[in-house]
Copies of this chain bind each other. A is one copy, B any other.
Amino acid sequence: MQETSLYPHVSVDCAIFGFDGEQLKILLITRTGESEEGRYSDMKLPGSVIYESENLDDAAYRVLYELTGIKNIYLQQFRSFGSPDRTKHPRDIVWLENAIHMKIGRIITVAYVALIKINQKLRGFADGYEAHWCNLSEIGQLAFDHNEVVEGALNYVRKKIEEDPTGMYELLPKKFTEAELRNLHEVIFGEKVDIRNFHKKFISLNYIIPLEEKQQNVAHRAARYYRFDKIIYNKSHR
């Protein structure tokens, strides 16, 4: 273990929201360690100290790639967290020193958000790395200031989606029903939307293309499938 560095370490943390078709989840890593009160186990956001000469964005993409095998997604820096207090919990300090193999004065983190679709492959992959998709309502006390990071990330995502809804369609299958999109809205914003008003807006969007195909074998009237046309979207948005 090296001696204490006077200079701050910089990390990236990723708040990766995943949509499994029904609910919005957040990807968390199980952290276990030894503290004065014995062994503990809690959760943290995936993150990493940045490498030398590594772009911040690159570091975030690296963390995400190492954890999920996914690239080329909607990944955005949204804030830095740099209070010295964020590592004041003894448990956090000990854990960090073990992880980085160095005494830590403090650590500043640059936080990123991502929105991805949870597919079957991803479920298995994440589990292999002790990463878990957790319901947003069920996350407890996270390591460091990660509760605050998640909160900030969710607010950021809501704002972003409002000004550019492209990210939503990455979370849905290529062919999706209006109800699927509506449900996605509801879980992201945490509130019900009016079905008819949503419909009116939905059909007015020229980049939502209705398909001939409909649902099969559902116990009610079959819903039409639609697709998102990115090219049309880009044309009409600068």
**Number of contacting residues on A, CB 8 A?**
25
- The answer to whether A56 and B108 touch across the interface, beta carbons within 8 angstroms, is yes
> In the bound complex, what is the Cα–Cα distance between A108 and B56 (angstroms)?
9
- The answer to whether B52 and A106 touch across the interface, beta carbons within 8 angstroms, is yes
- The answer to whether A53 and B106 touch across the interface, beta carbons within 8 angstroms, is yes
- The answer to whether A6 and B84 touch across the interface, beta carbons within 8 angstroms, is no
> In the bound complex, what is the Cα–Cα distance between A9 and B106 (angstroms)?
12
> In the bound complex, what is the Cα–Cα distance between A7 and B105 (angstroms)?
12
CB of A155 to closest CB in B, whole Å? 12
- The answer to whether B83 and A80 touch across the interface, beta carbons within 8 angstroms, is no
18 of the cross-chain contacts (CB-CB < 8 Å) are A5-B5, A5-B7, A7-B8, A7-B9, A8-B9, A8-B52, A10-B10, A10-B82, A52-B105, A54-B84, A55-B82, A55-B84, A55-B85, A56-B80, A57-B82, A77-B80, A82-B110, A108-B110
Chain A interface residues toward B at CB < 8 A = 5-10, 50, 52-57, 77, 79-85, 105-106, 108, 110
